[in-house]
A and B are shown apart, each in its own frame.
Chain A
Amino acid sequence: MLKWITLAPLIGALINGLFGKRLGEKVVGAIACLSVAVSAVLAFASFNQLTHASAGADGVRRVTDYFFTWISVGAFRADFAYLLDPLSGIYILFITGVGLLIHIYATGYMHGDPGYYRFFTYLNLFMFMMLTLVLADNLLLLFVGWEGVGLCSYLLIGYYIRKKEAGDAAKKAFIVNRIGDFGYMIAMFLVFTTFGTISFVDKPGAGGEIVRSFLVTAAAMPVEGLWVFGTMTAIALLLFVGATGKSAQIPLFVWLPDAMAGPTPVSALIHAATMVTAGVYLTARCSWVVTKSPTAMLVIAVIGAATAIFAATIGLAQNDIKKVLAYSTVSQLGYMFLACGVGAFTAGIFHVMTHAFFKALLFLGSGSVIHGMHEEQDIRKMGGLRKYMPITFATMFVGWLAISGFPLLSGFFSKDEILWRTFSTEALPPGVGNALWGLAALTALLTAIYMTRMMWLTFFGQERFGQARPGHSNDAHAEHTDADHAHAALGKPHESPAVMWIPLAILAVLSLIGGLVGVPAAMGGSNHFEHFLQPVIAEAQPFGHTTPVAHSVTRGEVGTPTIDGREAAASESHVAKSEEHHDTSTELGLTVLSVILGLLGIGIGIAVFSKKPLRKMPKTLEEKYYVDEIYEDAVIQPIEHLSRDGLWKVVDVKIIDGFVNGVARMFGDISGVLRYTQSGFARSYAAVILLGAIIVIGYFSYIALR
């Protein structure tokens, strides 16, 4: 069944890609949505199957679907097989769910676009790749999905093929991602050479014996010391390099804001809800390796926190509604990595899910605004839109509160969980957790402020859109129907059609209640989410414990699959749980504090921007800390210089061309000499033949008469 979850969108993509041009908008949209709907239904069914599955020997429920063995070379084996466990289960639920809503929304948003079928082909292909990514049962298949979503991201960012900036953004995204992919590949090679397998699950080996998953093997390994760069640290850090590329972390985040050149549904689906969280997925999937390296944990946490606050400050000063959301996404992704870095992988995944809800909501809302404003993206030219677009406003209002951490909304629970786990972490050196918590809390405040600014400038205050130049278009949303043009001439914003606001409404509901699956124990909840994920996620070792608990010996003796690192880690986590009870009051205190921070941020935002919405923001922030310029000078220019003056003019022209031309000239010269043997005189040829005959006859008669 699992394979049909992924194959349904692929079939949709094939039909639309091959015949879409002739099918017409309605049919293309129907096929695209239907294929994702099938996938979503199957995903829910599979998830149901998963919850009823009996736990495996190591306490993990799994549903697997073997397709075929893709590569089998010596000990190396990579299957095309799918694995559904709690981690991938959660991912496929929100990927197909949010993906379906965005597909439906896009049928309205892309209405009238000449590349309609192309768009949905790419979008369906993306669904296939993303689902392959999360359902893959080994690192290589995961990498297929990983590259596939990168490809689809490239195609969709550059969807408006006539716009140069879209093409440039697409290339930027692709190239920056390549840097990360390089790390991923090295990590994969390293995993294979270290563990002899790249599979997430146990596989039968060549000789019929069971090859343990590298995660299980890793779980039993000793923890490496801080700043000890052993194999585990190397693998974890290299995987994280891959994750920074895909999930837009410092220093590879630069592509994500530019990626907003693509259509808004793409920004919502790929660059907010799903693809960019693949890095978090990878980190959580390999948590058994990552937790063995305090160094990697520390790096991940620090990078995550730094990205979070860095992007939040930039988001404060952006005027393009999608850019604000893009930096917000980068910032929220930073949160997720912070969570991973402090060992709270479940909290990270939880935030991935809630973020998928509210950020997809916000992006789609912004798309609705852009649509209603006739392709205007500059929030300085909006204002007072709540009158014209009440539904969009209402739904975005929910998203705004959710991301700002308003109590009981989805973002509140997940963000609060991350903040608390950061504060109380034992996986990092003492004090680090508290410092990171400080950064994260500040980020929460900033998040509330910039989101308030964006909301205020868009929906409240004075109407400023009269000044918008007609025909000015940032999102070259191609040609519109005549009716749309008539609207544009009026210049009045309008509410989007039902096909667009219904997904908004559904996402708004999800953003409202989505957090309730993970209410932490301190607030009287039972945190289903965490318990559900627990078996597949490694528990971080408290900092300073360098040896895993005694089970490694036990495992060596018994050698049964029941005893392995996971169980031991789980048992230890119970010990940790009991200790946590002491901290309940602290946790609640921090929760109150973060609520206050969120509300304070909203308050500051309203106070500052209601009076003077077009307040000049610091130039440094508006220019995004000049990161692009720094990269240009520090990386791109030297590389260009090196390529031009070194590789081209010296290596290529002098050495390679010189070699090739030298070989050619050598043959030319030799031939020039040999040419004289080819005189063209028949008689000299005859003489040569005669000479040859003399030699051959002489040789044979010598042999015979000797």
Chain B
Amino acid sequence: MVPLSWYLALSAVLFTIGVVGVIIQRNIISLFMCIELMLNAVNLTLVAFSRFLGDVTGQLFVFIVMTVAAAEAAVGLAIIISLFRSRETINVDEADLLRL
């Protein structure tokens, strides 16, 4: 039987990779994918705990997270399309209207 901490370690690695990806990627679509990566890392943790605690709630959580991820992807990609239409770019650094 694989111990719980292995899953947690894998999850941590995945999550950190996702975080670092957000920092180093400039392509807004890749950025989104990094976020998906982080969500999946969390999902793994939830399922692992669900398994080891014998509680189905963790898996229900994962289900909700997936729903949110789907919604987020839909809206986010719509925003990306909208952004691309107006600015002709998907580089996040170009989307800098917040700057004075």
Q: How far is the CA of A690 from the CA of B15 in the complex (A)?
A: 12
User: Is B93 an interface residue when CB atoms closer than 8 A count as contact?
Assistant: yes
User: Is A675 an interface residue when CB atoms closer than 8 A count as contact?
Assistant: yes
User: Is A686 an interface residue when CB atoms closer than 8 A count as contact?
Assistant: yes
Grouping DSSP codes into helix (H, G, I), strand (E, B) and loop, the B interface class, with mixed when no group exceeds half, is: loop
User: Is B85 an interface residue when CB atoms closer than 8 A count as contact?
Assistant: no
Find A680's partner among B19, B26, B96 (CB 8 Å cutoff): B96
Q: Do B23 and A679 have beta carbons less than 8 Å apart?
A: no
Q: How far is the CA of A682 from the CA of B99 in the complex (A)?
A: 10
Residues 7-36 of B contacting A (Cβ, < 8 Å): 19, 22-23, 26
- When distances are taken between beta carbons in the complex, the residues of chain B under 8 Å from A681 are 92-93, 96, 99
Residues 342-396 of A contacting B (Cβ, < 8 Å): none
Q: How many residues of B contact A (CB 8 A)?
A: 12
User: Is B53 an interface residue when CB atoms closer than 8 A count as contact?
Assistant: no
Residues 661-703 of A contacting B (Cβ, < 8 Å): 675, 678-683, 686-687, 690, 693
Find B100's partner among A675, A683, A686, A693 (CB 8 Å cutoff): A675
- When distances are taken between beta carbons in the complex, the residues of chain B under 8 Å from A683 are 22-23, 26, 92-93
Q: Do A682 and B92 have beta carbons less than 8 Å apart?
A: yes
A-B interface pairs (CB < 8 A), number: 29
User: Is B1 an interface residue when CB atoms closer than 8 A count as contact?
Assistant: no
- When distances are taken between beta carbons in the complex, the residues of chain B under 8 Å from A680 are 96-100
Question: How distant is A691 from chain B, measured CB to nearest CB, in Å?
Answer: 10
User: Is B95 an interface residue when CB atoms closer than 8 A count as contact?
Assistant: yes
A678, A686, A690, A693, most chain B CB atoms within 10 A: A686
Find B23's partner among A675, A678, A687, A693 (CB 8 Å cutoff): A687
- When distances are taken between beta carbons in the complex, the residues of chain A under 8 Å from B97 are 680
Question: How distant is A319 from chain B, measured CB to nearest CB, in Å?
Answer: 73
Question: How distant is A178 from chain B, measured CB to nearest CB, in Å?
Answer: 51
Question: How distant is B94 from chain A, measured CB to nearest CB, in Å?
Answer: 10
Question: How distant is A161 from chain B, measured CB to nearest CB, in Å?
Answer: 52
Residue of A nearest to B96 (CB): A680
Q: How far is the CA of A168 from the CA of B98 in the complex (A)?
A: 58
Q: How far is the CA of A680 from the CA of B100 in the complex (A)?
A: 8
Q: Which residues of B contact A (CB under 8 A)?
A: 19, 22-23, 26, 92-93, 95-100
Q: Which residues of A contact B (CB under 8 A)?
A: 675, 678-683, 686-687, 690, 693
Task: Jot down 14 A-B pairs with beta carbons below 8 A, ordered by A.
Answer: A675-B100, A680-B98, A680-B99, A681-B93, A681-B96, A681-B99, A682-B92, A683-B22, A683-B23, A683-B26, A683-B92, A686-B23, A687-B23, A693-B19
Given contact pairs A681-B93, A683-B92, enumerate 5 new A-B contacts (beta carbons under 8 Å).
Answer: A675-B100, A679-B96, A682-B95, A686-B19, A693-B19
Closest 3 CB pairs of A and B: A680-B99, A680-B98, A680-B96
